[in-house]
Structure 1
């Protein structure tokens, strides 16, 4: 059941919900009000376009009510603010040695969860290390595994440079894999989905941008991602990532110990305009 409800005293019978429904299952009934036939409910994509578009706030669906949603008018950043956010975000490799507030961390995850996914599948899974001690334990496990692979000559040829990370850790306890970050997030999704990799990357992008405006630094961590997913499957299992999930990517995050003063500049975009 999708629990599609219309408050008739509010409904203006404008038909916007019917026109905007991607599945075209909302029709205007004999009295001019939107309705969904029971046999059509299985075709609902659960996108909530109907709830979002209703100017009068008359439509509820899936147990969600318009009064509990944020109003969009006046709520978006202006173009210059968004441009500054996109151009100004930085990969953070220096963090303060402290945990984020638990409420802030939860908020970051909940907002990122609203990112778009293929066919609105919404099955991206967050694996979160929410305490510095947990990241330290993971680091020790990963470094122990990399040390073993290096000593046994088992590092893949394409990842031979990991030997440098191992030596720096063994000799100087310099952590170039996890960067002494207090937290880590892994996004994964069922391989059976139409777009598992894309879903994970979009969700992490949304997480990163929202984190930036909340004063939280982030780092897309390919070094840790490849180590865990490609070289040390036992670590993946210890993190509890399901076997049937595609490992999207790992992202470090926490309070930054560095602050940048301005955006950077790049050469012009590579653009091909189709004739």
Structure 2
């Protein structure tokens, strides 16, 4: 059941919910209030467009009331500020040796979960190491196994450059893989979805931008991603990632030990305008 309800004291029968429903399952006969067409509940995408578009906050659905939502008017960032946030994003490789609060980590992930997904599947799973000691212990396990691969000459040919990371770790205990970050976030999604990896990348992009707005540093960690996904499948199991999940990407995050003062400059993007 999708629990579609209309507050008749608020509804003006403007028809916005009918016009904006992606599945075209909301109907409104003359003189009546909006309702779900008989037998069409199964076609609901659970997108909540009807709740969001109603100017009078008259529609509730899926157990959610519009009174629990934030009005967009007056609450959106200025365009110049958003542009600076995007242009000022940096990959952070230096972190303070301290945990973020559990409340902040939960908030970051909750906001990231608002990211769009294919057919509104909303099945992205966030696996998080929420304590720096957990992250360091996991890092040590990964590096131990990479050392073993190197010693056994078992590094894949395409990943031969990992030898440098391993040797620097062995000789100097310098962490070039996890960068001594206090936290690690991995996004995965069921392989059965139409767009599992894309859903994960979009969610992590959302996570990164909101994290930056909160003063939190992030790093898209391809080195850890390929190590866990392709070279050390036992570490995937160690993290409790389901076998039927596609591995989206790994992201480091934490309080940055560096502060960037300005945006950088790029050459104009390559744009092809279709004639």
**Does TM-score exceed 0.5, indicating one fold?**
yes
- Count residues with an aligned counterpart: 275
Q: Which residue of 2 aligns with 1:223?
A: 223
CA distance in 2, matches of 1:150, 1:226: 15
Q: Which residue of 2 aligns with 1:69?
A: 69
CA distance in 1, matches of 2:234, 2:141: 10
SS of aligned partner of 1:128: strand
Q: CA RMSD in A?
A: 0.7
**Correspondence 1:114-133 to 2 at 5 A:** 114-133=114-133
Q: Which residue of 2 aligns with 1:55?
A: 55
CA distance in 2, matches of 1:87, 1:30: 50
- Give the TM-score of the pair, scaled to structure 2: 0.99
Q: Which runs of 5+ in 1 are unaligned?
A: none
**Correspondence 1:25-104 to 2 at 5 A:** 25-104=25-104
CA distance in 2, matches of 1:215, 1:258: 11
**Correspondence 1:250-269 to 2 at 5 A:** 250-269=250-269
Q: Which residue of 1 aligns with 2:13?
A: 13
1:47-95 CA-partner distances (Å, limit 9, x unpaired):
0000000000000000000000011001111111111011001000000
The runs of 4+ residues in structure 1 deviating greater than 4 Å are none
1:216-269 CA-partner distances (Å, limit 9, x unpaired):
100000000000000000000000000010000000000000000000011110
1:30 Cα offset (Å): 4.8
Contact 1:29-1:35 within 8 A present in 2 as well = no
CA distance in 1, matches of 2:253, 2:217: 5
CA distance in 1, matches of 2:149, 2:104: 38
Q: Which runs of 5+ in 2 are unaligned?
A: none
CA distance in 1, matches of 2:257, 2:58: 47
CA distance in 2, matches of 1:173, 1:38: 65
Contact 1:218-1:252 within 8 A present in 2 as well = yes
Contact 1:190-1:196 within 8 A present in 2 as well = yes
CA distance in 2, matches of 1:192, 1:151: 38
